[in-house]
């Protein structure tokens, strides 16, 4: 019997006042669009470019424009700080927000920080401050990933044997990445490593290999990354990130895409992530248990960008009201950061790294 799927979240809470920090694409085109569609309350915005921020505020009907992120964080009307800032600058803003009595929660971007050690410190500081710190691992709320999770949890595919994510895309808006020593694994693979944990639990070990990408115009180490993961359940997974994909000259018909596949003893599921073409993500699956050996393709109209970001902010607001730990909590995200760290150690030392080697206490 085919499941009744829920590709998008139910909005259970939207009563908290949000203050948004950032004026780049991810805030102006994704976060704020999602919040407007969901009916979330955005009371103020700030970024490094005040003139640009005023334009964004007018577009979305945001009443206050603060001159600086500090001024927004110190605004006593704000209950949730929503950060869309580069990871080298994010920790300082998180720490400032943790000191404010009126701030109940913080939604940070991923990666949470540029190192596992810094992420662990932020986890512990948030706990000591009694504040909720959540990390925007939004791929968990992509519609195809949510439906895939429902199929797996219902046992429709039997025992999961193998999984693969294959990405060829260009994060053209994230120019700040050019100055980081750590590039693809930390900033792009983190999506896939986290969603693999979401789907299959905790990995036992990881082997990562990378090469410099000659198509870039800046120095870097990990341009193209391939990681294999073995999970405690026995699942073997492959994650490939070719995120400076080219060539990309004018007139070149590129084939940018993100595709995935999961195989089990009783079925197969496969699909695509709709970004960057703006179309809905896709999923089709064939199950001996549920579909009679026929391919079934659920449909939905919503997209990863922006609709998944409704789920990210909703889970945080609901956690506050229900006095529960949010799904995207910082302690869980430290485990994703540990996986990233293990990947870098694997690349540096040319070997498989067990997650038990990476300390997170």
Rg (CA), the chain: 20
Q: How many CA atoms lie within 13 A of 105 on its CB side?
A: 27
Whether 129 and 173 map to the same domain: the answer is no
Whether 147 and 274 map to the same domain: the answer is yes
Whether 180 and 292 map to the same domain: the answer is yes
Q: Is residue 225 part of a domain?
A: yes
Bridge partners, 238 (sequence order): 164, 228
Whether 77 and 132 map to the same domain: the answer is yes
* Contact yes or no for 42/22 (Cβ under 8 A): no
CATH of the domain at 350: 3.30.360.10
Residues across the chain: 361
Cβ partners under 8 Å of residue 90, min gap 6? 83, 108, 109, 112, 113
pTM for this predicted structure: 0.96
Task: Say what the pLDDT of residue 37 is.
Answer: 98
Q: Is residue 255 part of a domain?
A: yes
Task: Say what the pLDDT of residue 1 is.
Answer: 52
Whether 117 and 161 map to the same domain: the answer is no
CATH of the domain at 129: 3.40.50.720
Whether 282 and 160 map to the same domain: the answer is yes
β-bridge pairing 41-46 and 64-65: parallel
Report the phi/psi class of residue 50: left, alpha or beta, with left for phi > 0 and alpha for psi in -120 to 50: alpha
Q: Is residue 27 part of a domain?
A: yes
β-bridge pairing 224-231 and 160-168: unpaired
Q: Is residue 70 part of a domain?
A: yes
Cβ partners under 8 Å of residue 228, min gap 6? 206, 207, 236, 237, 238, 239
User: In the chain, which residues have pLDDT < 70?
Assistant: 1-3, 171-175, 244-249, 276
What is the spatial distance between Cα 211 and Cα 215, in angstroms, rounded to a whole number?
12
Task: Say what the pLDDT of residue 254 is.
Answer: 75
Greatest C-alpha distance within the chain: 60
Whether 174 and 130 map to the same domain: the answer is no
Whether 180 and 295 map to the same domain: the answer is yes
Q: Is residue 10 part of a domain?
A: no
What does the angle CA 69 – CA 317 – CA 79 come to, to the nearest 5 degrees? 35
Task: Say what the pLDDT of residue 226 is.
Answer: 98
Task: Say what the pLDDT of residue 245 is.
Answer: 55
Task: Say what the pLDDT of residue 99 is.
Answer: 98
Range of the domain at 193: 139-303+337-355
Cβ partners under 8 Å of residue 323, min gap 6? none
What is the token pair recorded at 44? 């103020």
What is the spatial distance between Cα 87 and Cα 118, in angstroms, rounded to a whole number?
11
Q: Is residue 131 part of a domain?
A: yes
Q: Is residue 319 part of a domain?
A: yes
What is the token pair recorded at 47? 């970024």
HEC states along 278-333? CCCCEEEEEECCCCCCCEECCCCCCCHHHHHHHHHHHHHHHHHHHCCCCCCEHHHH
Cβ partners under 8 Å of residue 104, min gap 6? 16, 79, 80, 131, 132, 320
Q: Is residue 321 part of a domain?
A: yes
Calculated CA dihedral for residues 349, 355, 356, 361, nearest 10 degrees: 110
Q: What is the DSSP letter of 157?
A: T
Q: What is the DSSP letter of 244?
A: T
Cis? peptide before 306, omega within 30° of 0: yes
Task: Say what the pLDDT of residue 293 is.
Answer: 93
Whether 76 and 115 map to the same domain: the answer is yes
Whether 318 and 289 map to the same domain: the answer is no
Bridge partners, 46 (sequence order): 21
What is the spatial distance between Cα 7 and Cα 271, in angstroms, rounded to a whole number?
14
Cβ partners under 8 Å of residue 53, min gap 6? 23, 45, 46, 47, 65
Whether 158 and 281 map to the same domain: the answer is yes
Whether 116 and 187 map to the same domain: the answer is no
Total structural domains within the chain: 2
Burial class of 82 by CB neighbour count within 10 A (0 to 12, 13 to 18, 19+): buried
């Amino acid at each position: 019997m085919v499941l009744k799927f829920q590709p998008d979240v139910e909005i259970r809470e939207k009563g908290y006042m949000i203050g948004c920090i950032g004026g780049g694409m991810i805030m102006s085109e994704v976060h704020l669009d999602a919040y407007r569609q969901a009916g979330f309350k955005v009371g103020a915005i700030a970024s490094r470019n005040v003139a640009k921020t005023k334009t964004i505020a007018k577009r979305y009907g945001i009443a206050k424009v603060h001159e600086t992120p500090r001024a927004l964080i110190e605004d006593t009307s704000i209950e949730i700080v929503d950060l869309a800032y580069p990871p080298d600058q994010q920790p300082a803003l998180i720490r400032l927000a943790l000191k404010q009595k009126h701030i109940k929660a913080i939604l940070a971007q991923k990666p949470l920080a540029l190192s596992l050690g810094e992420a662990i410190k932020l986890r512990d500081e948030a706990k000591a401050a009694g504040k909720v710190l959540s990390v925007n691992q939004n791929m968990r709320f992509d519609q195809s990933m949510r439906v895939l999770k429902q199929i797996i949890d219902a046992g429709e595919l039997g025992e999961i044997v193998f999984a693969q994510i294959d990405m060829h895309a260009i994060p053209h808006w994230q120019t700040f990445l050019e100055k980081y020593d750590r590039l693809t694994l930390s900033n792009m693979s983190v999506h896939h490593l986290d969603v693999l944990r979401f789907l299959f639990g905790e990995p036992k070990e990881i082997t990562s290999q990378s090469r410099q990408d000659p198509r870039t115009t800046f120095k870097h180490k990990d341009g193209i990354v391939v990681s294999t993961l073995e999970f405690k359940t026995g699942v073997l997974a492959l994650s490939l990130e070719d995120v400076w994909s080219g060539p990309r000259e004018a007139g070149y018909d590129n084939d940018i895409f993100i595709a995935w596949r999961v195989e089990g003893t009783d079925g197969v599921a496969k699909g695509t992530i709709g970004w960057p073409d703006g179309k809905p993500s896709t999923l089709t699956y064939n199950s001996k248990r549920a579909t009679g050996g026929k391919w079934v393709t659920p449909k939905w109209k919503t997209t990863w960008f922006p609709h998944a970001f409704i789920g990210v902010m909703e889970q945080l607001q609901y956690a506050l009201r229900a006095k529960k730990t949010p799904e995207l909590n910082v302690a869980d995200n430290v485990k994703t950061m540990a996986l990233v760290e293990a990947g870098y150690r694997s690349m540096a030392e040319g070997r498989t790294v067990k997650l038990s080697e990476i300390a997170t206490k």
